[in-house]
Amino acid sequence: MATSIMGSAPPTLLHLRCPTFMHRHVATATARGVLLSLSLPRGRYRRFRSTIVTSCSAATAERPPKADKGASEKDKRITPKSTDFSRWYLDVVRDAELADYGPVRGTMVIRPYGYAIWEGVQSYLDSRFKELGVQNAYFPQLIPLSFLQKEADHVEGFAPELALVTKGGGKDLEEPLVVRPTSETMVNHMLAQWIQSYRDLPMLLNQWANVHRWELRTRPFIRTLEFLWQEGHTAHANAEEAKAMAEQMVNVYADFAINCAAMPVIPGRKSRIESFAGANVTLTIEAMMGDRRALQAGTSHDLGDNFARAFGTQFLDETGELVHPQQTSWGASTRLIGGIIMTHGDDMGLRLPPRLAPIQVVIVPILKKNTDTEAVLAAADSLAEAAKAAGLRAKVDASTEKTPGFKFSFWEMKGVPVRVEVGPRDVAQGTCVAARRDRPGKEGKQFGIPLDPTGFVASMRQLLDEVHEGLLSEATAFRDANIVDVQSYDDLKAAIEAGKWARGRWAGSDEDEKRIKEETTATLRCIPFEQPGGSGPCFLTAADAAEVAIFAKAY
């Protein structure tokens, strides 16, 4: 039987020490009876209540300084990565027009260019899910608190991050409602009604939605109070099918990261401590960012029958026996956009992988006085139309108020993979010049690109593939150069102190893992699927270890 977190006392609206906007909202809700208001219930479980209040009051968001509207373009340049990586990241998010800050601290507004990248993520993943027979659905955002209480590990894991609704229509609710942090409980409530027989299985569902987690410290795309994601939920007749599904989905994420986002990742298994609350096993893909911190870029969970038991989900198997289904859940979020920025970006701004870039090719006409500008503009438009007809995302920047040099810098900041320059001489010669975003200066220039539609499109396809491979190769080399194989705990501490990842044989306990985290702030990122084989002494305990694990500081 689940223990009530709320106690017997009715919920009471509290004034939270949150940012001014939220504080006013709560007070107004009290006076005017607004439909919904975020609040916290009083009850005998003070630790639970104070944890959430602390999370709310302590939430801080990293913000770049506002740009001075009167400053010169030189003064607005982004902070170099080597000077301040965090500031560089925030500058790029701002100047590339990916996102802005919402009025509630810790929230963000995703701008059209940033959302277009997310649409690319959605398009790729959604098509892969459907190839596997997964169907899209949508589940309510408001979840009864009692649902979370049914799975003890689940509620304990999410308690510090919950946002609760205790009033609706100006009246106290009979039961507090959780603003969706994840949907395992809501999905299982419905599965208990939908699954009756083995013929109903497997059930493969996915939803594209927003979720809320009251984070302590936020950063655009990486960690915000509200974010967008997809969450898949499946139910199977036996444990073998569920295990295979969880593994298949983490491989889908790894394929996306490598072949679409040009982001090298290490797929592996989480430790028990780092696993999802309520899961038997959590699988992950881990990526190294430009500051050498780890980013968990996608996870897949084998839930066993934990949630099915909690919600009483049962079905008649082929022998007529009443059994619980085995389940999985898996998800990836807008944090992938932050990962792409921090993996590929440079001191000029974004460098977007071509398969996700909203604009793959930007064409800049070079217009000069006393030349045939109409012919140049016509050539640029013709190239763009040919590219679009071939399925490429192309744009002509024919604006006259900015110089070509300014345009070059602007589109470099936006991370467009290929820039094409067309001038009067190019039109006369029947060729143009292309510049790859992944290679600065003359190294990235390619001359003699044909102006005829067929030759131009073929050249663009080749260049876009080369940019993808270039970004992936560069990021892979950077990652591999910053992973240190360790033989002792001193080796690990030295590697972490140097800002690198530590990889070594591991047979430590949960307490050993906690000790490493406390003493170094590094966490066990994963036990990679790819293992060297054999066995050897654990770098910490010297016990025989058949697996290696990776430790690193992380976002």
Residue 348, H or E segment: none
Note the pLDDT of residue 368: 86
Neighbouring CB atoms inside 10 A of 318's CB total 9
What phi and psi, each to the nearest 5 degrees, are found at residue 549? -130, 160
Note the pLDDT of residue 76: 60
The whole-angstrom separation of Cα 308 and Cα 301 is 14
Note the pLDDT of residue 369: 82
Residue 259, H or E segment: helix 239-259
DSSP secondary structure letter of residue 554: B
The whole-angstrom separation of Cα 108 and Cα 452 is 44
- Given a cut of 70, the residues of the chain with pLDDT beneath it are 1-76, 152-158
**Helices of type H across 70-210:** 85-95, 112-131, 145-149, 152-158, 184-194
The whole-angstrom separation of Cα 540 and Cα 469 is 38
pTM listed for this prediction: 0.87
Note the pLDDT of residue 99: 98
Are 198 and 316 in contact by the 8 Å Cβ rule? The answer is yes
Three-state DSSP state, 49? helix
The whole-angstrom separation of Cα 495 and Cα 513 is 16
DSSP secondary structure letter of residue 458: H
Beta pairing partners, 219: 223
DSSP-assigned states of every residue in 493-512: HHHHHTT-EEEEE----HHH
Are 433 and 463 in contact by the 8 Å Cβ rule? The answer is no
Tell me which residue has tokens 């500008």. 373
Neighbouring CB atoms inside 10 A of 376's CB total 21
Are 341 and 92 in contact by the 8 Å Cβ rule? The answer is yes
- Which distant-in-sequence residues (6+ apart) come within 8 Å of 268 by Cβ? 283, 284, 286, 525, 526, 527, 528, 529, 550
Are 117 and 358 in contact by the 8 Å Cβ rule? The answer is yes
Three-class HEC string of 194-233: HCCEHHHCCEEEEEEEEEECCCCEEECCCECCEEEEEEEE
The whole-angstrom separation of Cα 118 and Cα 52 is 30
**Domains delineated in the chain:** 1-58+144-179 (no CATH), 74-141+180-350 (3.30.930.10), 361-477 (3.40.50.800), 483-552 (3.30.110.30)
**What are the tokens at 243?**
């295990």
Burial of 497 (0-12, 13-18, 19+ CB in 10 A): exposed
Burial of 548 (0-12, 13-18, 19+ CB in 10 A): buried
Neighbouring CB atoms inside 10 A of 444's CB total 18
Note the pLDDT of residue 72: 46
Tell me what percent of the chain is helix, strand and coil, each rounded to the nearest 5.
40, 25, 35
Burial of 442 (0-12, 13-18, 19+ CB in 10 A): exposed
The whole-angstrom separation of Cα 288 and Cα 479 is 6
The whole-angstrom separation of Cα 208 and Cα 246 is 18
Between CA 212 and CA 23, with CA 37 as vertex, the angle to 5 degrees is: 90
pLDDT in tens, 113-161: 999 999 999 999 999 999 999 999 999 999 999 998 887 666 666 677 8
Neighbouring CB atoms inside 10 A of 490's CB total 10
The whole-angstrom separation of Cα 217 and Cα 225 is 9
Beta pairing partners, 523: 552
Note the pLDDT of residue 216: 83
Furthest C-alpha separation in the chain: 87
The whole-angstrom separation of Cα 272 and Cα 280 is 8
Q: Can you say how many angstroms the Cα of residue 342 is from the centroid of all Cα atoms in its chain?
A: 12
- Which distant-in-sequence residues (6+ apart) come within 8 Å of 24 by Cβ? none
**What are the tokens at 508?**
């430590």
Burial of 319 (0-12, 13-18, 19+ CB in 10 A): exposed
Are 90 and 63 in contact by the 8 Å Cβ rule? The answer is yes
Three-state DSSP state, 379? helix
Are 359 and 430 in contact by the 8 Å Cβ rule? The answer is no
